[in-house]
A and B are shown apart, each in its own frame.
Chain A
């Protein structure tokens, strides 16, 4: 990207960055988003590249990766990670990690296969990935001191 072309946006972006979450004595949660781009090499072979995007276009496929590390001095019990879906991103899938999801803005949670969505005529249909508003992982074992892990899900720019 050309930083000289959009100084205004860069200022905004910098202002939105929170204080680094890696404070001592607690669990750190590091958030990375990658865009999957298909590249065709000279021999016609296709490869998927993961890039850290500053910009995306509708239809881009995003990989959200959350790294956690217990940097505290106590095990972290009842550890729950929640990622609200950005409004402009449609949830796609979360691989085999089977997170809890919400399809109603975070009121109710469950596995996607167990949730339903109200139709305009009052009936309910099975929830689809596109209905997901929040993704959540709730751990049943404490994260030990120094314990780390990685969570991921995919989405598509609407």
Chain B
């Protein structure tokens, strides 16, 4: 057997009186980093920890004697801890007046016993530009990570589900964005999860609470409660139309004589961080002018007059160009020609 260099161990004096509580000097503190490993799963509440040591020795002539120490038993109490985080990164885009807007959260039981958590969602918190109207807190019933109206159930108040230790649930806060918000406005919703067994000062015992395995329940480092601010960001867009006309008569001047050509230019400017959908430019011509067939162009490209695959059409007295979705910061230019009757 290898001999350990234990000369100092025999004479090491550790002043640990047998009384149950004793103050000792801070020199006995664990070296830094001794408890740095936290990736291991926590010991489950109710676990019995037993420590027993054994001594063996030779009383002479190879007579080996083995003795066991007494055993020391400790039960692992239940620790109440929770974390709340958002799913995904950054803010969630919304639009003025939009309903059924969804923020996704992750609530994790970071304690060591099964626990149920009370959830509250607050839209009226400080530090943002507007208050989202919270309509409900839903649980991801089918576990697909996406809010499914009519499938994902309202988070039950009063019968909150038990969450196993070190497991998570996906929670959706469904809200309405007020119609009055402006582009770029930010609206925070704070989701708070609180252990139903108790919250309070870390390290304190919850009076009267009995945890898994009939042990006491202790407030963990989180205080038994946690919250997270997740936010909507309004992405709105506005359209401005600028129309201009250029007259050219057969004399090469701009006098609007009968038979002169009027070239109309309509510029649609979209501004804001959002985009506009189904944007269509229409222009009804006055009876004093006649549309020149095949003259519609969009950003320089010619469009046909028929109601067909391309964006342009002329019908009766109306020119229309369907621009579809136009993001903020872009513009579209429509040009067509008419003749003065």
Contacts and interface: CB of A to CB of B under 8 A. Distances in A.
B34 A154 contact: yes
A120 interface: no
A78 interface: yes
A130 B37 CA distance: 8
A17 B21 contact: no
A82 B76 contact: no
Interface residues of A, number: 88
A31 to B, nearest CB: 4
A151 interface: yes
A137 B9 contact: yes
B51 A57 contact: no
Contacts of A89: 49, 51
Contacts of B4: 98-100, 111, 136-138
Contact of A27 (B48, B57, B60, B210): B57
> Which of B14, B25, B49, B53 has most A Cβ within 10 Å?
B53
A154 B30 CA distance: 8
Contact of A88 (B49, B69, B215, B216): B49
A113 interface: no
B243 interface: no
A158 B31 CA distance: 17
Chain B contact patch, size range: 35 or more
Contact of B60 (A49, A74, A143): A74
B161 to A, nearest CB: 23
A88 B79 CA distance: 15
Interface in B234-280: none
Interface string B40-70: 1111000111111111111110001101111
Contacts of B75: 9, 54-56
A105 interface: no
B54 to A, nearest CB: 5
Contacts of A51: 20-21
Nearest to B37: A130
B72 interface: yes
Contacts of A33: 51, 72, 74
Contacts of A75: 59-60
A109 to B, nearest CB: 6
B24 A56 contact: no
Nearest to A45: B26
A139 B42 CA distance: 35
B135 interface: no
Contacts of B22: 49-50
A48 B25 CA distance: 7
Contacts of A129: 34
24 contacts: A6-B215, A9-B214, A18-B68, A31-B69, A31-B71, A32-B18, A48-B26, A55-B74, A56-B76, A58-B79, A59-B79, A72-B59, A76-B59, A80-B56, A83-B54, A92-B31, A98-B5, A98-B9, A99-B6, A110-B2, A137-B4, A140-B6, A154-B30, A158-B41
Interface of B: 1-6, 8-14, 16, 18, 20-26, 28-31, 34-35, 37, 40-43, 47-60, 64-65, 67-77, 79, 112, 210, 214-216, 218, 220
Top 3 nearest A-B pairs (CB, nearest first) are A76-B57, A97-B9, A31-B69
